[in-house]
């Protein structure tokens, strides 16, 4: 049986963050839950008491992030699992996107994650252990039309997390990039969009039509996968969630490889000849 763990979870009030927080508490772990609205977790506080520390937090406030992580560590004296889940979608065709809204989206999705990771790393290095979970998306692997700023931010999470994994492995710290497909998390309620340009309506409608209701998963079913990953001696660098997710990722990578193969001769010629010194 796995030893009890201490979690720090951002965006813990709803969606995946809420599901994974409840799953951790239910099995006897302790959780520092960082949320914008602490009252949203009153029910869990009543049910789990001292096992749950609720911290008000907007991850775009870097100083507040460092304070919250420090408070969590001071309270529980240890941190095992850091879940960077806070984020939202800003969707639209690239031409439609508003510059300030893209910056705001990256402030939450990318720089919020960066702040949490940087706040936690000194603690995890001192412990010589820990597991960082960054929440990406299938949209962090497949950049779909009208995915706009959201998919761009998730591609950044993928690259940043992959670099992080190589940097901290020697300190006993593990990293897992969580890549959910479509789930009924209520995510659409947090999606923001710019003013739509009619020129992009056909591609927007085609993208919406491509989403299949049968591909939408139950968020509660992801809890077992997350718990298995955090309990693993050798957790995955990437963990795709959802039965349709891997098939879409495989098809995307096959197309990429095909593209590179087709242009291989041109790529090789771009190397040039060795220049004599």
Instruction: For residue 132, list its beta bridge partners.
Output: 82, 175
Helices 62-76 and 112-127 cross at an angle (nearest 10°) of: 30
Q: Is 154 a known active-site residue?
A: yes
Cβ distance 69 to 112 under 8 Å?
Answer: no
78 three-state secondary structure: coil
Cβ proximity of 129 and 174 under 8 Å: no
Q: Which is the catalytic residue, given 115, 136, 153, 161? A: 136
Nearest-CA neighbor of 12 among 66, 50, 53?
53
Among residues 137, 150, 153, 174, the one annotated as catalytic is 150
Beta-bridge mates of residue 34: 10, 55
Residue 53 CA to residue 56 CA, distance in Å, equals: 10
CA gap 185, 77 in Å, rounded: 32
Sign of CA dihedral 67, 152, 11, 233: negative
Residue 253 annotated among the catalytic residues of the structure: no
Respond yes or no: is residue 150 known to be catalytic: yes
Active site members: 136, 150, 154
């Amino acid at each position: 049986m796995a030893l009890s763990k201490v979690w720090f979870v951002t965006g813990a009030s709803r969606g995946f963050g809420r599901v994974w927080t409840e799953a951790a508490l239910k099995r006897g772990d302790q959780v520092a839950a960082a949320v914008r609205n602490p009252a949203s977790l009153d029910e869990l506080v009543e049910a789990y008491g001292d096992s749950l520390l609720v911290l008000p937090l907007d991850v775009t406030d870097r100083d507040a992030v460092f304070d919250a992580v420090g408070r969590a560590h001071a309270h529980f004296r240890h941190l095992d699992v850091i879940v960077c889940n806070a984020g939202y979608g800003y969707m639209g065709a690239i031409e439609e996107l508003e510059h300030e809204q893209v910056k705001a989206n990256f402030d939450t999705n990318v720089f919020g994650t960066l702040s949490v990771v940087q706040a936690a790393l000194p603690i995890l290095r001192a412990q010589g252990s820990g597991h960082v979970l960054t929440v990406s998306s299938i949209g962090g692997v497949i950049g779909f039309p009208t995915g706009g700023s959201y998919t761009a931010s998730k591609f950044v999470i993928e690259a940043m997390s992959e670099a992080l994994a190589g940097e901290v492995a020697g300190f006993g710290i593990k990293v897992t990039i969580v890549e959910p497909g479509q789930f009924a998390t209520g995510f659409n309620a947090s999606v923001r969009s710019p003013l739509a340009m009619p020129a992009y309506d056909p591609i927007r409608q085609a993208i919406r039509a491509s989403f299949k209701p049968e591909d939408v998963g139950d968020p509660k079913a992801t809890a077992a996968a997350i718990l298995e990953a955090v309990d693993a001696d050798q957790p995955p660098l990437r963990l795709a969630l959802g039965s349709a997710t891997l098939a879409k990722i495989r098809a995307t990578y096959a197309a990429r490889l095909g593209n590179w193969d087709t242009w291989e001769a041109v790529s090789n010629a771009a190397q040039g000849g060795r220049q004599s010194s």
